[in-house]
Amino acid sequence: MAARALPLIAGAALASLTLGPVAVVLLRAGGLGALAPGDLAALRFTFVQAMISAAVSVTLAVPVARALVRQRFPGRAALVALMGAPFILPVIVAVMGLIAVFGRNGLVNGLLGALNLPLVDVYGLHGVVLAHVFFNLPLAVRMLLNGWQAVPGERLRLAASLGLSRGAMWRVIDAPVVLRVAPGAFVVIFVICLTSFAVALTLGGGPRATTVELAIYQAMRFDFDLGRAAALALVQLALGLAAGLVALKVARGEGFGAGRDRIVPRRDGRGWARGADFAWIVAAALFLLVPLGTVMTRGTAGLLLLGPDTFRAAGHSVAVALASTLLCMGWAMALANRRGELLALSAIAVSPLVLGTGLFLMLRPFVNPFSMALPVTALVNALMGLPFALRIIVPQAEAVEADFGRLRASLGMTGFAWWRLVWLPRLRRPLGFASGLVAALAMGDLGVIALFADPDRATLPLQVYRLMGSYQMEAAAGAALLLLGLSLGAFVLLDRGGRLADA
Amino acid sequence: MKTFTFAAGLFLATGAVTVAAAQEVLTVYAPDYFVSEWGPGPKIEELFEAQCGCDLQFKPGELLPRIMLEGERTGADVVIGLNTDVTKKARESGLFAPHGVDLSPLTLPLDWTDDVFLPFNYGHTAFVYDATKMEPPASLEAMETLPEDVRIVIQDPRTSISGLALVLWIKSVYGDEAGAFWEALAPNIVTVTKGWSESYGLFTDGEADMVLSYTTSPVYHIIAEGDETKKAAIFPEGHYFMVELAAKVAGSDQPELAQQFMDFILSRDFQSMIATGNWSFPAALPRDEWPEGFQKLDLPEEVIFYSEDEAAALRDEAIEEWRRALSR
């Protein structure tokens, strides 16, 4: 009984926390507002860039993840962990890192210039896609890796003993993994790119690259047109949900059958395939790690300039990240099925600005919203992290259900025993990865805190902006490095926690 | 949910300890940059608390959207850091009361008679350039024929006050021809950013040779870094005047403290820390009392300014012209 009620309660809480704020904003506005000139163009651009970004991220992730599955080499674990870092960088830090590599004075143009080749310009649709791939390629790679790791070793042994050709391996083992994981990864990335606007604006090169989220920002902060903001937020939500429905229909859910969880090395990554695999790994590592490296070098000097304000902000960010992660994982475990996932997807497709404003209006009659700045930030970040967490957990949860469901029925296991003995141990790895991701994301988020900001309760990303606003570019780079360290630390710690027994 | 409640309780508890002192509290909403440890906020807090015996609390963040959301139940007593391009909306909300401050000490480059919004500092919109990399254009008109390799970053008028000031500046000089100006400048515009911080970061990183900023930006580099290579290009057509304002909240439960703070704004104490605290010109301090670096700055002879009604009437059209020209 209790086991049945839990998902329902979790689902209802999620729905009311996502749709409630939108409804409150609408109510306050007294109805939907009309769209402005340029909104249609913004809608088109938003859709196109999100489609391309998601498609490129997932397509490139397939060979990279397969290379990482097939090959073993020293430092592989560290590389996998580090490659996850771009996703958790605060937008402004990542953009500065990318510009240091691909900008006019960047490394790439330095190299091209030295070779007397024409320079490249990073600003434009391709710049937006470049940044979104930088953010999301690692996410897609890790999702696929998790999918491959769920293939029982027994299958690989069987494949090896049958002497399957490379093509046959692809058909029998790899393609099903990709088909199961890729559509979901595509949707999550598509939806993240929908709500992005700082990246699109900075690297887009001008108003051509306007996204719906920018129009929401303008309506909300500048025109104070809540009706138009709510209308735009609903358009964005519909777009995200439609994408979610399509992709979840496409994704196939069956598992590979139960195994004994042994790690079996793959035998098909030899000869020329080995060379190709390493080419993919090196290319991905360069693309993801060089901009990170520049963020680190630039920030080192700034570390010495950091004052007590910054360290206090760092403490707040850590607390927010912890609270978000606990809340999000509790939610995720209760909602680890497809219906829950669609519900969660709507949470992230709702504009963070509208969500924050709605929560502000809801809290206002009861408490001083300022004093709630950090809890609200933690809550919103838990909401925002939920689709990622579910996307990572659900495929495996479904596979466990398919593979062990009969066992449960025949043994008549109670809900708790099932959860403790079968579910949790089998989902340890995705749970660790998901909580690492959520913690790191919450650490780097800026969205909501800006609306509620209080000088005593700033988070680290907000502090980075404050430093830049006071011409303290070097200290800002130092604070950004601190943020990177904390995010990465939280991610690695939690992710490792999930993989401890693999070693 | 338990975790969340627990975390919320924890934060509330720590929050309660810091405000335990039983003093009267004056709440002032201010922009983010204003209250940071490098902004003027901490100094103002110290000076004012010494004379009022109260607890001055700055609440940073978005000013007008927040006040409008809160309506008459706002927790603010004073708002500082509003900009003329939003005062129309602010005035029409009826949330603000007359400031009642004598305006004769003002030293602005134009007459100021507003009885609700009180100026505390100003600057002008200007293109700041790197003098080691380029010769400045001699006029706004010369911007249209800049060499192709001169790269400029500006801010989006839909998300940033300085970006909005820029399109109004161009509109005031070019009128119906503003769209043509934007089309001519478009090839030089590398990108458009959400706010000033991102633009200025791109400029100091060398991604652009010119950035839309303020006439006062070079003085930061002169005073804080001893770097005299960053300069503002001064145009004979005039520069758009940007002034920051403070206003008293009509429904304040601390009307006397709020008034005391409004009076404090034009005092010498307050005004003399604006220059290096906020990197802008003080609104009520004669030029010969500015810090030396400020006195050396190149300043425009002509100042352009729209009244809030004019600005509000032209705003949408000016933004749309900009958007259309740069979308090609």
**What are the structural domain ranges in chain A?**
7-501
Residue B55 and residue B131 in one domain: no
What pLDDT score was predicted for residue A200?
80
Superfamily (CATH H level) for A7-501: MetI-like (1.10.3720.10)
Q: Are residues B89 and B174 in the same domain?
A: no
Which amino acid is present at B32?
Answer: D
Q: What is the number of domains present in chain B?
A: 2
- State whether B156 and B221 are in the same domain: yes
Note the ipTM here.
Answer: 0.83
Beta strands per DSSP E along chain B: 25-30, 55-60, 78-83, 96-97, 118-130, 152-155, 189-193, 210-214, 230-233, 239-249, 281-282, 303-304
Identify whether residues B186 and B83 lie together within a single domain.
Answer: no
- Residues B115, B136 within the same domain: no
- Lowest-confidence segment of A54-63, A81-90, B290-299 by average pLDDT: A81-90
Q: Which of B2, B3, B12, B217 to mutate to test the interface with A (most CBs of A within 10 A)?
A: B3
> Each residue of B45-96: pLDDT tens digit?
999 999 999 999 998 877 888 888 888 888 899 999 998 878 888 999 999 9
The answer to whether B189 contacts A206, with C-beta atoms less than 8 Å apart, is yes
Closest CA to A150 of A408, A430, A401, A391: A430
Q: Kindly state whether residues B321 and B300 are assigned to the same domain.
A: yes
pTM: 0.84
Measured in angstroms, the CA of A21 and the nearest CA of chain B are apart by 13
Domain that holds residue B185: 123-241+296-326
Across the interface, do B37 and A38 touch by the CB < 8 Å criterion?
Answer: no
Q: Measured between beta carbons, which residues in chain A are less than 8 angstroms from residue B206?
A: 104-105
Residues of A in contact with B33 (CB under 8 A): 466, 469-470
Q: Given B33, B59, B206, which is nearest A454 (Cβ)?
A: B59
**Residue A498 carries which side chain, given as an amino acid letter?**
G
Give the pLDDT band of residue A3 (cuts 50, 70, 90): low
Band of the pLDDT at B17, cuts 50, 70, 90? very low
Same domain, B262 and B170: no
Same domain for B131 and B117: no
Is residue B300 domain-shared with residue B264, that is, in the same domain?
Answer: no
- B77: DSSP letter: S
3-state DSSP assignment of residue A264: coil
Burial of residue B273, with CB atoms counted within 10 A of its CB: 0-12 exposed, 13-18 middle, 19 or more buried: middle
Measured in angstroms, the CA of B104 and the nearest CA of chain A are apart by: 30
In this complex, is the C-beta atom of B327 within 8 Å of any C-beta atom belonging to chain A?
yes
Rounded Cα distance between A451 and A354, Å, is: 11
- The pLDDT value recorded for residue A252 is 59
Mind listing the pLDDT tens digit for each residue in B93-144?
Answer: 999 999 999 999 999 999 999 999 999 999 999 999 999 999 999 999 999 9
CATH number of residue B75's parent domain: 3.40.190.10
For an interface test with B, the pick among A197, A466, A472 (most B C-beta atoms closer than 10 Å) comes out as: A466
Check whether residue B70 and residue B134 sit in a common domain: no
- What's the token pair of residue A140? 């897609």
